[in-house]
């Protein structure tokens, strides 16, 4: 936060308090991941298999994590515990991005309170 020579803040109190709250929330986010996690069931090609006659008895669920790495789509099969963990990390990333957007808006609000440079 910008400070005056006497050590006091140049920002209105409400903005500084909101900044501190957002920074604390961001610090507690934890691990983050990009991409999406999906669950799918499949029908096999074995004649007479239960999956062909009853959609409720398809094989699976199979969990997959997809993300883009250097412009290339990467997909990985996951166990159910891995899928749950990655879903949490993806939600953490979305929350971190929302917090950063709020910090940007807050910064734009704070800018007029800074002294002009000559």
Given this model, what pLDDT does residue 13 score? 74
- Number of domains the chain contains: 1
Given this model, what pLDDT does residue 114 score? 67
Say what the alpha-carbon torsion angle 77, 80, 85, 86 is, to the nearest 10 degrees. Answer: 30
Q: Is 44 contained in some domain?
A: yes
Q: What is the DSSP letter of 39?
A: E
- pTM for this model (two decimals): 0.76
Q: Is 69 contained in some domain?
A: yes
Given this model, what pLDDT does residue 117 score? 66
Q: Is 62 contained in some domain?
A: yes
Q: Is 68 contained in some domain?
A: yes
Q: Is 92 contained in some domain?
A: yes
How far apart are the C-alpha atoms of 98 and 71, rounded to whole Å? Answer: 23
Place of tokens 């808006």: 105
Task: Kindly give the parts of the chain with pLDDT less than 50.
Answer: 1, 3-8
């Amino acid at each position: 936060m910008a400070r005056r020579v006497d050590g006091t803040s140049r920002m209105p109190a409400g903005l500084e308090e909101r900044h501190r709250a957002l920074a604390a929330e961001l610090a507690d986010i934890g691990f983050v991941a990009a991409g999406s996690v999906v669950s799918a069931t499949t029908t096999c090609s074995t004649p007479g298999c239960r999956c062909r006659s009853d959609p409720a008895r398809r094989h699976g669920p199979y969990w997959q994590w997809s993300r883009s790495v250097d412009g290339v789509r990467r997909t990985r099969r996951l166990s159910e515990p891995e899928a749950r963990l990655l879903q949490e990390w993806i939600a953490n990333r979305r929350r971190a991005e929302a917090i950063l957007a709020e910090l940007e808006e807050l910064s734009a609000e704070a800018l007029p309170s800074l002294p002009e440079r000559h």
